[in-house]
Chain A
């Protein structure tokens, strides 16, 4: 079988938590009981919802509050290891108003102001390059390709801030398996929408358009790598990369390309947009790494949007954004200070 090398990743093959990180069953059970008691008591409904998030329910978690602005899109709580952080979820208001999406302007408030012009219907994603079954997928086909899951991920921006966002989507691996990459496909390149008519930022020369990102094949196949269509139980707002985007939670946010139009399977490492713009500052891998500073600021700490108060100390950034147990083995033997 051509896909033996990848088949492991579809469920649990890549998931090797450190033994020290596995919670003993007794502690785990006690914790749950405690949560249930709390929930039954004064804490009431919201706490109960929070507690139930840990269980592998087939319904979306109730902790996620639907903003009620866009079409509903829900997914079952994901079974992928690491896909359901218990941390406090960033408000939808913050997650949809503080964005880096340079196609709509360089200010963080620009995307929310200007992205309403983005045309997301019709939308097709072209899959090409070193695959057995290339083709054009329209959005409906992609939406039906695999069951939707809800995944609550930390998002760490290279600028030193972070959020916790409930995404809706499925592992990119599902799509990759469908198109059957050839053995020679070593990397995946993601090309995003660049339409000067609907995206005012594309007229500026801040970056070479279209915005391009890339992943190594094993990274792209990792179950945590998400093809996302929604957040907070609804379809993606335009400013967050509608209608379909990538979410790679252990890498800096800019690796998670928005508004995808093309996925290309290639042999050589693609040159991503920020890497082209400033190679000494943004590496291809761009894994979240508190020990490798950006040339102009430290990456050791981060500010959690909406949670860390103005005068609170920033929190420590975790290796691989806290997903080391899940993804650390992808980088065994690599010098991450050089391949940053």
Chain B
């Protein structure tokens, strides 16, 4: 049934709408003063949260495709990935605008001085070439192999994103949500590692048993 739903021609537009919904809500909330006492903080945090959530969904596409036998998910992965980038751009924009007032000197200083900002910014930078090379022709230009290698940067992005979130929460030792994201990313990356040639090579050579 799930498979049938995914095969339906309105599946992709429907998911597209779902992904854009948080953005619509944030714009509406900001315009109608519905984001609480500190709307700037709300926007910065919400766009960060949605980046993490969409990154989870993007990274879950392949494991779910294989485990549940849903080849349709392969066609949706790019959309999720691009929405991840959309929300991280909004996140960076909210920070630069609402928090830093587009004071470029202060922003540069902030990135250099504070590890938690640096880590978040690095994750954004690493995600950029992935968004830029997301269209079909880029795959042809790069060659499938090289393209795949480049896009493995997303694993690094996941690690940096959780580290950024962890550091942000560390000041107030408020880690429960951090652990949720960390566990999801860990499971999704561990699944990949266990299927990887590296792991199989290690098993074959008996590196762990003898």
A residues apposed to B, CB below 8 Å: 93-94, 97-98, 102, 106, 108-109, 161, 204, 206-207, 277-278, 281, 293-298, 303, 305-306, 310-311, 313-314
When the two chains form their complex, are residues B114 and A296 in contact, meaning their CB atoms are under 8 A apart?
yes
Known: A106-B174, A206-B173. 16 other contacts (CB 8 A): A97-B37, A98-B36, A106-B172, A206-B172, A278-B170, A278-B173, A293-B113, A296-B117, A296-B168, A297-B110, A298-B106, A303-B38, A303-B41, A305-B38, A306-B37, A311-B97
When the two chains form their complex, are residues A310 and B30 in contact, meaning their CB atoms are under 8 A apart?
yes
When the two chains form their complex, are residues B172 and A305 in contact, meaning their CB atoms are under 8 A apart?
no
Q: What does DSSP make chain B's interface, helix, strand, loop or mixed?
A: helix
Which residues on B sit within 8 Å (CB–CB) of A313?
Answer: 101
Number of B residues whose C-beta is below 8 Å from A? 26
Give the residue name and chain of the A residue nearest to B174 (CB): A106
Question: Would you call B185 an interface residue if the criterion is a C-beta within 8 Å of the partner chain's C-beta atoms?
Answer: no
When the two chains form their complex, are residues A277 and B38 in contact, meaning their CB atoms are under 8 A apart?
no
Which 3 pairs between the two chains have the least Cβ-Cβ distance?
A: A98-B37, A94-B37, A313-B101
Kindly supply a per-residue 1/0 record for chain B positions 139-179, scoring 1 wherever the CB is within 8 Å of any chain A CB and 0 otherwise: 00000000000000000000000000001101111101000
Give the residue name and chain of the B residue nearest to A308 (CB): B40
Give the residue name and chain of the B residue nearest to A206 (CB): B173
B30, B171, B174, most chain A CB atoms within 10 A? B171
Which residues on A sit within 8 Å (CB–CB) of B116?
Answer: 296
Which residues on B sit within 8 Å (CB–CB) of A310?
Answer: 30, 39-40, 43, 98
For the complex, what is the distance from the CA of A161 to the CA of B36, rounded to whole Å? Answer: 13
When the two chains form their complex, are residues A206 and B114 in contact, meaning their CB atoms are under 8 A apart?
no
Give the residue name and chain of the A residue nearest to B106 (CB): A298
For the complex, what is the distance from the CA of A278 to the CA of B172, rounded to whole Å? Answer: 8
Interface residues of B in 115-154 (CB under 8 A from A): 116-117
Pick from B36, B110, B167: contact of A108, CB below 8 A.
B36
User: With A296-B167, A298-B110 as given contacts, are A314 and B172 in contact (CB-CB < 8 Å)?
Assistant: no
Pick from A277, A296, A303: contact of B40, CB below 8 A.
A303
For the complex, what is the distance from the CA of A93 to the CA of B116, rounded to whole Å? Answer: 32
Which residues on B sit within 8 Å (CB–CB) of A314?
Answer: 99, 101
When the two chains form their complex, are residues A109 and B36 in contact, meaning their CB atoms are under 8 A apart?
yes
B37, B38, B117, most chain A CB atoms within 10 A? B37
A94, A102, A206, A296, most chain B CB atoms within 10 A? A296
